[in-house]
Amino acid sequence: MELQKASLACLVLVLAVLPALKVSTQQPQGPTYGAIVVRGDIYADWTLAMAFSMKERVPVLTLYKEVNEEEVIGVLTSLSEARRSVLIVGDSMAVPRGFEIILKSMRIDVDRVGGATRADTSLQMIIRGFWADSRELVVVDGQKRELYIPALSLSSTYLAPIIYSTEGRLPENFFKVLENYMPNLETVYVLDDSLIEEEVAELINKGYVIKELNITTVEAPKKSSLQQALLWLRERALGMIVGLFTGTILSYLIISGRKRSPTDLLMSFLTRDERTLVEIIRKNKEVKQEDLPELTGFSRPKVSRMVNELVSRGILEKEVFGKTYVLRIRNLFKEET
């Protein structure tokens, strides 16, 4: 009889413990990345990397193709054995496969998130489960670079992922991804008319709270004293990043000891391939996009990607010309006569 009571007690204990074990095995594990690598001159990818970095407190290293590849690799050699892994944000045209192969040869685990477009990449960040517990989400037009910093500020405030829209529309399979990978989502912030009315209506029909914000009115709701202190630190950290970048530029101009034209300054912050393309357009005043592969020696897909990126960054302007585009340097960067 005593043996039966003991067995029953053990069974009750096991049944009580099992649910807790089940829950713990289903919870996502914490980040194991030692660092994030992203192209420093592709700001759409950089914004996504910074958002994830601030959420998980993982450092971001910016790569400028072959220019500083050796320095980045040197920094990554210091990764500890416990966190000897790197997340690359961007496709192979942004961060080349050769760089990934070098890291793997150093026994560094490499993970990559990168889609065919910036919208696809932003959706992949959610599909990978990086934001599974988030209750907020930020939607921003992926072509409006002036919205990247406001979107990043909101992301750091609410620990929310950023999704890029394209011409007012959400990425393909967006709602299916939310259902599977963001079950706790409640509020969607939409910056500066980044979505058309039909998409907003669909979000509302799905039960989400929509908050449409102008970049001049982005403001967090009232928080507790502790939360306000933490938010203050996050916001100042973002300001320090921007200030450091601005200060670096100013220091560079002062140290150079001479007045530099806008074009000289522009060229200093372009990659080698971007300089080649921009220089050709500058010399010819304007160039048809279909002529650039022959003039630069680059493939058509590479030219198309570079042109779109330079236009989104406000360096080039393009105008429809028949079945192609005419490309020009924006007035800001034209030589003074």
- What are the tens digits of pLDDT across the range 56-94? 899 999 998 667 888 888 889 888 877 889 999 999 889
| Cα–Cα distance, 143 to 122 (Å, whole number) | 13
- pTM, two decimal places: 0.58
Instruction: Please count the other Cβ atoms lying within 10 Å of the Cβ belonging to residue 210.
Output: 15
pLDDT at 19: 42
Indicate the residue among 199, 221, 243 that finishes a domain: 221
Nearest to 103 by CA among 73, 59, 83: 73
Q: How many domains does the chain have?
A: 3
Instruction: Tell me if 318 is assigned to some domain.
Output: yes
Report the chain's terminal Cα–Cα distance, integer Å: 104
Please check whether residues 211 and 128 belong to one and the same domain: yes
Q: Strand, helix or coil at 34?
A: coil
Instruction: Tell me if 95 is assigned to some domain.
Output: yes
Please check whether residues 144 and 209 belong to one and the same domain: yes
pLDDT at 230: 59
Instruction: Tell me if 22 is assigned to some domain.
Output: no
Please check whether residues 122 and 103 belong to one and the same domain: no
Indicate the residue among 221, 238, 254 that finishes a domain: 221
Please check whether residues 66 and 132 belong to one and the same domain: no
> Which domain does 38 fall in, by range?
29-114
Please check whether residues 93 and 184 belong to one and the same domain: no
Q: Is the pLDDT of residue 32 over 80?
A: no
CATH of the domain at 216: 3.40.1360
Instruction: Tell me if 105 is assigned to some domain.
Output: yes
Q: Is 319 exposed, middle or buried (0-12, 13-18, 19+ CB in 10 A)?
A: exposed
| Cα–Cα distance, 286 to 209 (Å, whole number) | 47
Please check whether residues 282 and 325 belong to one and the same domain: yes
Nearest to 86 by CA among 114, 110, 102: 110
Instruction: Tell me if 309 is assigned to some domain.
Output: yes
Tens of pLDDT, residue by residue over 194-244, are 999 999 999 999 999 999 998 765 554 555 555 555 555 555 555 555 455
Instruction: Tell me if 58 is assigned to some domain.
Output: yes
